[in-house]
Structure 1
Amino acid sequence: MAIIAVLLVLSACSSAGNGKEAKPGNEKKRIVQIGYLPITHAAPLYIEEELGLADGGYDNFELKLVKFGSWPDLMDALNTGKIDGASVLIELAMRAKEQGVDLKAVALGHKDGNVIVAAPDINSVQDLKGKPFAIPHKYSTHNVLLYQMLKGAGLQYTDVEAVQLPPAEMPVALAEGRISGYVVAEPFGAKAVVIDKGKVLFQSEELWPESVDCAFVLRGALIKDEPNIAQELVEKYVAAGKVAEQKDQQAKQILKKYMNVDDNVLELSLQWIKYDELKLDEASYEVLRQYMIEMELSEQPPTFEEFVDNSLIEKVL
């Protein structure tokens, strides 16, 4: 007992002298990891991280953005809990939710900003019949836009050869004649137009006003178990969206830090996209649900109540 008492005294002295004792307000913050692909549609995330660093961080957490090279890689990390959330194609997140992954959409990534790009010799939708047309993923708003365009022109989805390509490869494939058109996230649509290898056949709002594309999703556990972090995360995200919508030099410099993009391409890309009104409304979501069923992408896509959590963004707005 005497030996134990001496050891306790020595331990206390050591702790008092090593400077490592916890101090109020000096605890290590929780690191929140959010995944993204380097596209214009994730601009609010880039700005949120940069503004957070400039302002000295957040009250409840530290934000770390994690870059991915493909949607499957990002979804694998999100579904397995390796990251806490992501800016992602909403259809992929809906599919994961349908399969039992606890995800919630808390905001949109953007509004509009998807263009149907075609080769210079394509002058109408009918000209695409029998030709290869690229989309980034089967579960994407881009695939839905292709379906809508063909349906509106009296064609079947099978009248074109839909091929899945990585977004960065699409402008090159169009320039080389391997595809006759594509629809994808920015800035890859603008790239083909700027280098004069493609032209805009349709803007997304011409085919589907208020279309739903990328969403900011969080794992349900973060919202439930760490509500203060989730609330601050969304609050800063909405503020970053307002900065992105200004499309000024500050916003452009931040975007270029996260994306390898030419100034002219970025300028054109930003003309097509909006970052205000990032709240996901039920009417727009229901249109997407019905298209997923009609296209046989999903038998029972999650309902608005099951998948969307607007409680965080409503507190901000």
Structure 2
Amino acid sequence: MLVEVSKKEYRRRFTTDPHMFISEAFIDVVENKCDRVVRLMKEDDSSMGLIAGIKDGVLKSPFSAPFGGFHYSHEYQFYYTISNFLTDLKEYIRREGLKGLSITLPPDLYQANMNAKLVNAFVKLGFTMVTPDICNWVDLKNFDGKWAKYVVEQNCRKAVKHGLTWSMVNDRESMEEGYKVILRNREEQGRKIHMTLDDLLAMNWIVPVDFFCVKNTEDNVLGVGVFYRGHEKIVQGIFMGDDLEKRNLGIMNLMYKHCFYHYKNMEVDYIDLGTSSFEGEPNVGLIRFKELHNCITSLRYTFTWAP
């Protein structure tokens, strides 16, 4: 049986996080976006645990992040440990009179072994698998400056020829201008942003937030990349976008190239470039663009269940 425990007790059992979105520091920042945060574990076994938020009667992990998922003592859990935990999770939903649950697992980049067993167990136990989102990431260990297609380097040269430059920025003015570029980019594609610039910069209290801009010769921001360094070997691309009217200048080609080199020089192993689909619907052009830049394509799974 699963029981709710205090933050202190939960953290006595689970001292490390598979990723930043289930860390206490992150949960503290976003807990006001749900009705209540619960920390669940089995009475007699601390092999697995779950931090989730209850929102409108539904248990959610995440409740305000790209993905959530489980804590575990190590990634090589026995299959029956995982299966029993998910069975008890159903019973917890029933016992508490909740409407259901929704859990989005991290991409395989973070926990391939656990995901394989979790996905199998979710399906076998009758959870509903939402159409998986397509996500992309790049292996910097094997990045040598050569691209899947030569057109990437051609576009980088075009950007330089037009006087575009890439740099990390720390001044508020550049960040505000860059945020407006991202905002327009998303609006023109019919997508919303759920974070203000202040929300974004407030994450600096939790993890380093890197803000990169591509500017033209008039010092106007044409492209933006925002990354979280919340993992020892993986950085996350949170927002990347450009001025759609000037996209033919090779803005994002230049952004990708310099960001890859920047993090490779920092001895980062991987860049998680997020999803290339929305609620399961693929953005074919974005997938192609990322794959041209040596990205690996994989799946991110979400499961739901209602009694």
- Shared fold (TM-score, shorter chain, > 0.5): no
The TM tier, using the shorter chain, reads under 0.3
Q: TM-score, normalised by structure 2?
A: 0.26
Q: Which has the higher contact order (CA 8 A, sep 6+)?
A: 1
Higher helix share: 1
Higher strand share: 2
Q: TM-score, normalised by structure 1?
A: 0.26
